[in-house]
Amino acid sequence: MPAETFLVAFHDGYWRVNFDGQWYGAYPNRSAAQRATVVIAKAGDYLPTRVVVRNVDGSEEVVWDPDQDQAPVDERRARSITQ
């Protein structure tokens, strides 16, 4: 079964969340949007679900995927920086 995706991206002057073609929220920064989206993805009935961030340069990274690393987002980011 393909994963549903929450996309966090800078859109219309804010960090926002796109799910199923609709934009939601207006967060002041990437971190706030990312944290809120992971909480929503974990709490929802959209299984399997993953959270992808599209950076302002257009690159994308998966920040949460229940089928992959279960480490919290911030811990995983710290691990990837130190490796």
What sign has the CA pseudo-torsion 57, 64, 81, 24? positive
pLDDT, tens only, 4-45:
899 999 999 999 999 999 999 999 999 999 999 999 988 877
Buried-state track 24-48, b at ≥16 Cβ within 10 A, e below 16: eeebeebeebbbbbbebbeeeeeee
Structure confidence at residue 24 (pLDDT): 96
The yes-or-no verdict on residue 73 having pLDDT over 70 is no
